[in-house]
Structure 1
Amino acid sequence: MAGRPEGGATERGLRRFCLAFFVAALAFLATPASAAKVDDQFRAWLQDDLWPQAKAQGISKNIFDAAFQGIKPNLKLPDLVMPGEKPKMPQKQHQAEFGSPGAYFAEKTIGAVTAGGRARETANAKTIAAIEKRYGVPGEILLAIWGRETGFGAAKMPYDAFEVLGTKAFMSTKKDFFRTELLAALEIVERGLAPVGAMKSSWAGALGQPQFMPTSFLKHAVDFDGDGRVDIWNSTPDVLASIANYLVHYGWVKGRGWGFEVTVPETVSCSLEGPDQGKKISQWAALGIKRVGGKPFPASELNAEGFLLMPAGRSGPAFIATPNFYVLKEYNTSDLYALFIGHGADRIAHGDSNFSGGWGPVGDLHRSDIAALQRTLEAKGYDVGSADGLPGFKTRRSIGKWQAKNGQAATCFPDAGLVTALK
């Protein structure tokens, strides 16, 4: 039968239990204390650092206090640096751009945007026609952005903008950027454009259905329904017109679309890609580039400038983009985002039709892999834009130039073999 433990064993076990309990108690007490310390530092920062600048910019004390009443730093937000600590080294990242870019165009996602866009195009036909007349931006483009950003307003805005922007201005890796946005958010309330309680945002501090940062709200949000207030949270006319106004501000060219899917013969180098290597569309056509499906380029476009766009190099569809494509990139700097909006708008206007070109089995790399490749190319004298781990057009065409120089077929897109070859 099991006997009772000897006294020494009992005492050792009791000491271990007490020690474990003490450590656990310290851990339990440390977390709230640490959080409380951050809260205290945040309140001091608000009053001693942010308030003097806000006051100098015309923010009243009543508005300032109302905006931050009950607000504490949200330590669950990404990209934060605890006070007194240094930023941590980024972990390896694996994103859609590094697998097949085709994943970005999953039918479930783009199908929802196009079907929802068509339904809302019909329901809001009069409003959209009025916005098109005033701003010159096709309604389908506005609908595609609306659908992509917030699912036509279905996505909830669960965060308090002052909590998000305050936290990030106080302790994020981009304090200056978010400080500017925080002060702009205070200005929105100070000017009576929205009450404090309406300032609901995404986890990044973007406001309303168009997902405007506060500075963009101040520059571009408009009252299109004529009710005397700008409401990008609830008013469809204000939402769509504000998006149009944003695009016009960044140079949307009335009467032109975003671009055309094309076939690019092997005789045309993929390293000719980029917004700084434009040609007349007639010149691209003279090189053998053709629209897919045998359609000719519109006569009105032949003397206008276009740009080669190959977001997956030779392993994906190719396009001749217009300047409006790069206006879409002002909304989101990703090539794939702008392409999604253009493609979604085409599908809203003309019906479901996927790209003719397929997305090849490219990528499966981490962002750190791309950054290492970029640094190597930079050391060899190539312009990759920056070694940020994102394969933008400068990186893609630099890859193509290096491949051609080293007797390889130019693919203009990173792969595991290329990363190994350039180590």
Structure 2
Amino acid sequence: MTKKKVNIVWLRRDLRLVHNTALKQAAREKLPVLLLFIFDENIVNQLPENDSRISFIYQQLERIHLELRSQNRSLLIKKGNPLDIISCLLQEYNVPSIFANEDYEPYAIKRDNEISELSISFNSKLHLFKDQVIFAKSEIVKKDQSPYTVYTPYKNQWLNNFEVQILDEEYDIKAEYINENFHFPSLTSLGFKAGRHLVKDYNLDCLGVYEEQRDYPIKDIGSYIGPHLRFGTVSIRQIAKAASEHSKIFLNELIWREFFMQIMFHFPHSITESFKPQYKFIPWHNNENDFKLWCEGKTGFPMVDAGMRQLNSTGYMHNRVRMITASFLCKHLLIDWRWGETYFASKLLDYELSSNIGNWQWAASTGCDAVPYFRIFNPELQQKRFDPTFEYIKKWIPEYGTNQYPKPMVDHKTARERAISTYKTAIIK
């Protein structure tokens, strides 16, 4: 029996049918497209069955499914090991090419290398395209082709290239999807349950006031773009274009995202180790009870506690408050940044490996271009500057101001001196 000839477009971190580079390239091949998404068990098996990010992915797949169904077409959804699933598809169909967009995390690189080798054995080929960033890998490097490890020169070079970068708008090429009626599985049949947190729609209306109001958590003028960039429900090209036109500060934050991505790509050791070798030997205290109080938002430092309670209740935390809570954990409590990074990874709806690690190492002073070890946020001063009327604090700590709210677990001055001494001694060694 002759196998049906199709090309596969494998959706991963690009959950959309427009402005999708891999899909655009596949459409040019004039072969029917089999649109595939895999719930990768190597990833999802490490998550709780009611993880809200899984629910969000499922909702986006459902949206794509409904769009395809209006064309009498469908999306193939599988759960398992990608190598096994794609092997079965290569046996079932005649597949000249598999199209996907690049992912720069170490596991994804290893997985894609294995898929590439597998496809060759079936006379197929895996084609990967840049899609989740403006500049990837080694596109922004020094004159000697080495990667930048300081943000500002990286940003300047990024902007120089961005000014001449042509954002290709020809992304609405219509693909001809395979004429198959694939079953769309329920969330429970995939082994998942609905998460308790909802991912908010992103909103770029904030860009006009972003610079003036972004540091005040009660104003809540964030774009909520993080999860949408993480899972590719919107094109980074469209967001970067809007930012370049309306908010240079917001664009700078998008550049930080790409800076941390290229750091992870060139220095993968930074995922599990201090980027700065001399910071490997900090004698973290790692008191489990202290960590528990931090996680629960019961440290007695209201800006820290409000942030942690916001995170636990919603899956979000204001950016300014993320810096305060991270600095407090690493400097005031001398708890390893990896403990905090892991906790944030389990809670943040906008969790992205490179940014989470990059920002935690920044706060802990162990990362590239990080805050100096002797710079330690004073939570009380941060509150006076950015929540002077206690609105944010009272929103998340209803018992604040009563005897039910705990006393500060450490003295700021003493903790600061201890942290500086600890860091200094460790670095000198």
TM-score range, shorter chain: under 0.3
Alignment TM-score, normalising by the size of structure 2: 0.24
- Bigger Rg, structure 1 or 2: 1
Task: Calculate the TM-score normalised by the size of structure 1.
Answer: 0.24
